[in-house]
């Protein structure tokens, strides 16, 4: 009797940061042969030690893999991955699939689908959310849009990476639109949480007591509970940096500006993150937006309980 062959296609993951590393691990646990590329050699070697396959460039990966998943920071890095020196696009075989997981301008994503289609390549607009811990456990969320044949090509790979895979349209664009709306809320919630905690500190309220009360009251939000734990711990290790929200809320405002749609809360939150970045906190955790408030004494690292939890 002939044993069935493993039909999982080879998948490449470009970008082994907080999210990409977990996604690559989830794919490997699901039985996919996973090839990886990152500009940081140590990140690649760490994954290779667990059973992954290293690639020297996106082009080399594209030659080996039918599906390439890009988990880089922004559109500029995605352009480089695809069309730069040793980029993936020229090396991908017709019918191969490129899955774009970055937070980008929706119009750029729509245009990218067309550019890849001219080369005979499939494309999924597939931003992600959930944080490093959920990515590592395959429990994150994907906001996807693309042609039916792109989903067919992806097969079970999306479900291997995410607990929730939302199909938001049969053309690129809606995945990125929903993601930036999510980022609008996330940024506003972080800014509001920081403002509330700053007011409590200014008024002499014990920070840990305030945190305990708010997280068990109607004013709580996921972002307050998560990010203000970083403040209480005095730990601004960048799980998601201030400059990420400078970028993402900028995308939100650019999208709305094109149709003259007002976003007063998003505008204010964006200015708060801009202020934090210009003060030198751009590479710190986004909870560092609280540092823009004057006349408050923030908890210091090593004092009090560490209530921190995974970033979004």
What are the residues whose beta carbons fall under 8 Å from the beta carbon of 287, sequence distance 6 or more?
A: 190, 194, 227, 228, 230, 231, 236
Distance CA 126, CA 143 (A): 5
Task: Decide: 240 and 287 in contact? Cβ < 8 Å.
Answer: no
Distance CA 101, CA 97 (A): 13
Contacts of 144-147 with CB under 8 Å at 24 or more apart are 144/168, 144/175, 145/169, 145/170, 145/171, 145/172, 145/173, 145/174, 145/175, 145/176, 146/113, 146/122, 146/170, 146/171, 146/172, 146/175, 147/113, 147/122, 147/123, 147/171
Distance CA 294, CA 126 (A): 40
Secondary structure percentages of the chain, helix, strand, coil, to 5: 50, 10, 40
Distance CA 70, CA 60 (A): 14
Our measurement of the distance from residue 184's CA atom to the centroid of its chain's CA atoms, rounded to an integer in Å, reads 14
pTM, two decimals, is 0.91
Helix or strand or coil: residue 202? helix
Residue 303: its pLDDT value, please? 59
153, 177, 179, 291: the catalytic one is 179
Beta strand pairing call for 11-14 and 34-37? parallel
Torsion sign, CA atoms 70, 73, 79, 84: negative
Active site residue 179: yes
Q: Which portions of the chain are predicted below pLDDT 70?
A: 1-6, 303-312
Strands (E), 57-173: 67-70, 97-100, 122-125, 128-129, 140-146, 162-167
Q: pLDDT tens for residues 265-281? A: 999 999 999 999 999 99
Distance CA 30, CA 300 (A): 42
């Amino acid at each position: 009797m002939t044993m069935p062959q493993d039909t999982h296609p080879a998948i490449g993951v470009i970008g082994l940061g907080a999210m990409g590393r977990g996604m690559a691990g989830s794919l490997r646990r699901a039985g996919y042969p996973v090839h990886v590329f990152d500009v940081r050699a140590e990140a690649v070697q760490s994954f290779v030690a667990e059973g992954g396959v290293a690639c020297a460039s996106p082009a080399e990966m594209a030659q080996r893999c039918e599906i390439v998943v890009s988990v880089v920071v922004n559109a500029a890095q995605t352009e480089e991955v695809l069309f730069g020196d040793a980029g993936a696009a020229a090396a991908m075989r017709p019918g191969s699939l490129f899955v774009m997981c970055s937070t980008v301008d929706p119009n750029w994503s729509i245009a990218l689908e067309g550019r890849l289609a001219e080369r005979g390549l499939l494309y999924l607009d597939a931003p992600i959310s959930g944080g490093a811990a959920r990515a590592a456990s395959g429990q994150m969320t994907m906001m996807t849009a693309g042609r039916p044949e792109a989903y067919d090509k992806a097969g079970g790979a999306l479900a291997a990476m995410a607990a929730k895979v939302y199909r938001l349209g049969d053309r690129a664009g809606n995945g990125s639109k929903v993601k930036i709306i999510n980022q609008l809320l996330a940024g506003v919630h972080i800014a509001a949480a920081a403002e509330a905690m700053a007011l409590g500190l200014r008024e002499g309220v014990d920070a840990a007591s305030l945190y305990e009360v708010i997280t068990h009251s109607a004013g709580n939000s996921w972002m307050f509970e998560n990010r203000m734990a970083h403040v209480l711990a005095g730990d601004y290790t960048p799980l998601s940096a201030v400059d990420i929200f400078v970028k993402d809320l900028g995308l939100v405002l650019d999208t709305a500006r094109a149709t003259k749609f007002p976003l007063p809360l998003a505008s204010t939150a964006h200015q708060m993150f801009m202020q934090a970045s210009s003060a030198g906190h751009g590479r710190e955790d986004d909870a560092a937006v609280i540092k823009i408030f004057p006349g408050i004494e923030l908890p210091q690292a090593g004092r009090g309980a560490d209530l921190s939890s995974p970033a979004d």
